[in-house]
Structure 1
């Protein structure tokens, strides 16, 4: 029999049982792709992170991220949480270079706060989501929606800006309308938000993730990365940095606090960072049959 250590963490929160749940296997050597997927289903969190030796010895680790259904090339809370776990276990220094499907991700850790930085380009198509289809998927009136657009850094999202916090809280995913009117587009993941879009502004957000079959996600770092990148580019990347704070997961009883920063250079997006606190809430071992 093979035994693997795991750590349970709550990410983007300073309190246990808030934020986004994560299982981290700090040493996943010897696990097959199928076993990683099976373990992600067993933990049944939105994501499970598997830490492996790096392909390049100049880097800290390689990180693979699985939802209960599939592997992701990148995700915010598993990256932040896995880095926090490795530093807490004294298995890595306070700056980590993690190899992920989108390339190299830098994570700086100070105490319980970790901040990931990516240089992946912001991508967006030349078309926009249908407001009536998005409104129907969220059980909102079209008049509740201020604007929608597609975009992403590493992962794709459909961003939905609504009139106010009450509209964010009023949203209820209609899965039939979502599957027929949103899924199949450039992205089926809906990131709904309201608040002040100025530098330093605070937003209230909810996320209905396609990779979770429309299930709500209490903290979505990759969505915050794409959002702050989009807003920085909208401003022409004139300021050297653009910062947002985001509250998410409140309606789920798992309040999360995320900080996102876009940095620019010579009028272009240079990098995007997303950070927050991580609380370690448990650890143990899981036993698998010999391969």
Structure 2
């Protein structure tokens, strides 16, 4: 008979319940093989499913593996927040009071409590800077926009492979109807400033068809990459809130703050399903 393991489904980054991005978390995944992890992630059919394991690095509180329906990721943001939330709710006690240290494919990621929200430190970019002309043409074609509608474009890859695209205003972002066949294996995050009287500062959308997720509702890893780029280039203040998921009927809110050279990406976390899964 399959083992019963503690399971939680956590809503992350939502302005209110059911308005964020869910992550499925197997709290005790020790002993499961790679095929088991991949099969369960395909079965949940969420943008990410995570598995909590004992750490290998003695500095970490736990180790996390992150799967999409299409494969494993070295890092992802909303699964990091949701998994830390589930670990703490399951009785996890950090080695160092005031912070949680996650071990994952990109190394160690620190989290802390930001008021009522959890926040993770943006990991270093694995790829940054200029994008070649052929890729820019592919992105414009995939987004069905003209090349001159792209205000700026850079690699903002902290693990998943993100490419950041800046447009003129939020309405341009919300009007996009991408051609996913042209996008192919690119992971494209699109951002633009909101009007001055808006509740949030930026509107964001994330397109990742190659991972089985045509559009991700709310994306912490992209939010982290965009924060490093936008703040570093003077296009965003050191503290702001980005909206994401509007086009999907969600109300994601990604809270960004740069403190002492460190970029913190925070959001609400709520357990909506708590029980057992047999794997």
Compute the TM-score of the two structures, normalised by the length of structure 2.
0.87
1:92-114 Cα shifts (integer Å, max 9, x gaps): 34521111111111111367511
Matches within 5 A, 1:1-291: 1=1, 2-93=3-94, 95-109=99-113, 112-121=116-125, 123-128=127-132, 130-179=135-184, 183=185, 188-195=186-193, 202-213=201-212, 215-235=214-234, 242-263=238-259, 270-288=261-279
Aligned equivalents of 2:210 and 2:259: distance in 1? 28
State the shift of 1:281 in Å: 0.6
Give the match's secondary structure for 1:172. coil
Task: Give 5+ residue unaligned stretches, structure 1.
Answer: 265-269
> What is aligned with 1:267?
none
Contact 2:143–2:178 under 8 Å retained in 1: yes
For residues 131-176 of structure 1, the C-alpha deviation after alignment (integer angstroms, 9 at most, x for no partner) is 4432221123334322222222233212111121111111011122
Conservation of the 8 A alpha-carbon contact between 1:139 and 1:173 = yes
Residues 104 and 118 in structure 1, CA contact (< 8 A), matched pair in contact too: no
Distance 2:151 2:125 in 1: 26
Aligned residue for 1:124, secondary structure, equals strand
- TM-score when normalising by structure 1: 0.84
Aligned alpha-carbon RMSD (Å): 2.6
Cα offsets for 1:24-47 (capped at 9, x unmatched): 111111111110111111111000
CA separation of 1:229 and 1:191: change in aligned 2, threshold 3 A: same
The Cα shift of 1:284 comes to 2.4
CA distance in 1, matches of 2:179, 2:166: 18
CA distance in 2, matches of 1:43, 1:214: 13
Indicate the SS of the match to 1:159: strand
| Secondary structure of 2:40's aligned partner | helix
Q: Which runs of 5 or more structure 2 residues have no equivalent in the other structure?
A: none
Alignment: residue pair count: 271
